[in-house]
Structure 1
Amino acid sequence: MRLGPALQLILALTLAALPARSEEVRAEFLGSFEWAVPQRWFGGLSGIELSEDGQRMAVITDRGRILYANVRRKDGVIQEINLIRVVSLRAHNGAVLIGRLRDSEGLVVAPDGTVYVSFEGIHRVSRYRQIDRASESLNRPKAFRLLPNNGGFEALAMDDRQRLLALPEQAFDIDGNIPVYRWADDVWTQPFCLPSDGAFLPVGADFGPDGRLYVLERAYNIFGFRSRVRSWRIADDRAVDERIEIQTRTGTHDNLEGISVWQDTRGRLRLTMVADDNFLFLQRTEFVEYALIK
């Protein structure tokens, strides 16, 4: 979701003045890192995938670009991010995406290197067998066409059977739950929902090495952003054993929208999240990391 210019400015000015605080944390905060690239196209990072060792990264902007980078750490904490490649996403006809077509939000990199991207504007999920070539658009059922203009698929994840899960940000069902759409055997189904209290909206998702589905959620008001990560075990087309892993107070972090879950050398599960700066100079492209406490 992109915020209007007036609300962006109010949020940014407020965030700059707020201290970092955490409301409820089941995880250890490891640190944050602000990334800056001196190019006008840089910003709006909304999805992230890390390698198994946390040293290589792919991130997606909400203006149709994928960035590949190396991550240098010291004692496990990010010290530097080095950009190595930038790719502009293409449509099914090979043309570079422009306008409403390029509002890319969610990112999945499959084990074979195939890239999947979810889009708002024209709500869809596209497959890239080669990231610098034409896309293949997975079919668009009627439910996708009815998604809110700025509330579509920000959260995209892939399970260990290589089935995609896509979560709309704002299209809750009649009971107020989050519908989960699944791509398997070349068809979309909607096998289950996730409970929601309405205060937080889903903006990122990933399956961890433990097989659990982790969903990053965001809430905001004129005073800033709050973030929450919940996780579930998916069994027999049901989401069970819900856990709240992280819940922050307003201003703890910037506008976190993307999440990658991986295991470090100490055997801890890590949550690496990235903030969308909305291309506003007073906000930050911030990477935030937590280690889960079990």
Structure 2
Amino acid sequence: MRLGPAIAITLLLCAGCDAGDGTGSGAAEYLSSYTWQEDAPWFGGLSGIELSADGHRATLLSDRARLITADLTRDADGRVVGAELTGQWPLRASTGQRLKGQAADSEGLATGPDGQIYISFEDIDRVARYARPGAPARVLNDPRTFGDPPRNRSLEALAMDGAGRLYTLPENAPDARGQIPVYRRDGQDWHIAFTLPPRGRFLPVGADFDPEGRLYVLERAVTLLGFRSRLRRWTLENDQPVREETLLTTAAGRHDNLEGVAIWRDNAGRLRATLVSDDNFLRLQRTELVDYLLPD
């Protein structure tokens, strides 16, 4: 989601507020934060992240229709201590033209085992496949697939399971029962595979699967003292979510506007979450890479 002017002004006014030094609650263990700075006008707004199996190569998505790749330097404990850009490509429409305007609100990112890239878009609701960075898009749904969600509240998160099936969910477009619909693509068709229960003011902004096939949803709440983040996990049994777990709930202002999440195992076999923040292209926000250790 691109924050509206009123919210952006509030965050700017509160940028110096003391939000406390508590990490929040949950079973996740905080490991590190790295503030990433680049002197390029297109750098920022990062809303999606995918990592290589060793956590050192990153593919990232800006919400202004740009794909970025980078090499991450980690210390002996796995903390990110450096990030080096290795490539950047503007996203293109199926015609090959660069995306602009409402069509350029790219939010969710997933990569397939064959290297193909999948991106969900929020303003004009769609999921597109890219054979490689810089290639033209192939749209994977028709305009009626996801109903008529409110503008700037639609397909924020995208993930792929071990069977190669895509899942997407809106940020704030609940069904008639107030539940969060999760769409899955089986073959050529999308349908609501299941729903997830909302909890409090948090809204979904990112998703991923771990190597064991469990679903993770990153959520965000905007407060007067800054952003709060929450990470929930579900085990899927017979393709239905069970055993909801809240792994992380942060205090306001602990991190910036975390929107993307990648779940992976490090060389020691520890389960990890690497999260990235969307700075909304505002100077008083920051692009942040955050690592947590997760329980099995």
- TM-score range (shorter-chain normalised) is over 0.9
What residue is the counterpart of 1:280 in the other structure? Answer: 282
Cα distance in structure 2, aligned partners of 1:211 and 1:154: 21
Identify unmatched segments of 5+ residues in structure 2. none
Is 1:16–1:282's contact at 8 Å kept on the other side of the alignment? Answer: no
CA positional deviation for 1:129: 1.1
Aligned partner of residue 142 in structure 1, secondary structure: coil
Match of 2:180 in 1: 178
Q: What displacement does 1:198 show?
A: 4.2
Q: Contact 1:13–1:282 at 8 Å: present in 2 too?
A: no
What is the identity, as a one-letter code, of the residue corresponding to 2:121? Answer: F
SS in 2 for 1:72: strand
1:266 corresponding residue in structure 2: 268
Residue of structure 2 in register with 1:164 after alignment = 166
Say if 2:208 and 2:263, in contact at 8 Å, map to a contact too.
yes
Measure how far apart 1:141 and its partner are.
Answer: 5.2
Native 8 Å contact 1:256 1:273 kept in 2: yes
The number of equivalent residue pairs is 294
Q: Which runs of 4+ in 1 moved over 3 A?
A: none
Aligned positions of 1:59-138 closer than 5 A: 59-75=60-76, 76-138=78-140
2: CA distance between counterparts of 1:120 and 1:27?
29
Q: Take 1:174 and 1:98, find their aligned partners in 2: how far apart are those partners? A: 33
Shift of 1:13: 3.6
Query: What is aligned with 2:8?
Result: 8
Instruction: Give the Å deviation of 1:244.
Output: 0.5
Distance (whole Å) between structure 1 residues aligned to residue 225 and residue 133 of structure 2: 38
In the alignment, the residues of structure 2 paired with residue 32 and residue 140 of structure 1 have an alpha-carbon distance, to the nearest angstrom, of 40
2:25 counterpart of 1:24: yes
Show CA shifts across 1:141-170 (max 9, x none).
Answer: 525240110111111000011000001000
Q: Pairwise CA RMSD of aligned residues?
A: 1.2
Would you say 1:222 and 2:224 are equivalent positions?
yes
Amino acid at match of 2:172: Q
Quick one: which of 185, 192, 195 aligns to 1:193?
A: 195
**Distance in 2 between residues matched to 1:170 and 1:43, nearest whole Å:** 23
The 8 Å contact of residues 274 and 291 in structure 2, kept in 1 or not, is answered as yes
TM-score normalized by structure 2? 0.96
Which has the higher mean CA deviation after the structures are superposed, 178-187 or 142-151? 142-151
For 1:248 and 1:26, the matched residues in 2 are separated by 11
Q: Deviations over 1:106-126 (max 9, x none)?
A: 000100000000001111000
**Identity of paired residues, percent?**
49
Distance of 1:177 and 1:278 partners within structure 2: 28
Cα–Cα, structure 1 residues 233 and 293, in superposed 2: closer, same or farther, change >3 Å?
Answer: closer
What TM-score do you get using the length of structure 1 for normalisation?
0.97
Does the CA-based 8 Å contact 2:125-2:143 persist in structure 1? no
SS of the residue aligned with 2:109?
strand
Which residue number in structure 1 is paired with residue 44 of structure 2?
43
- 2:233–2:244: 8 Å Cα contact kept in structure 1? yes
CA deviation map 1:1-25 (0-9, x unaligned): 1112232132134243333322212
- Provide the C-alpha distance between the structure 1 equivalents of 2:142 and 2:238, rounded to a whole number of angstroms: 25
Which residue of structure 2 lines up, in the alignment, with residue 204 of structure 1? 206
Q: Is residue 235–residue 244 contact of structure 2 (8 Å, CA) maintained in 1?
A: yes
Question: Which stretch shifts more, 269-278 or 1-10?
Answer: 1-10
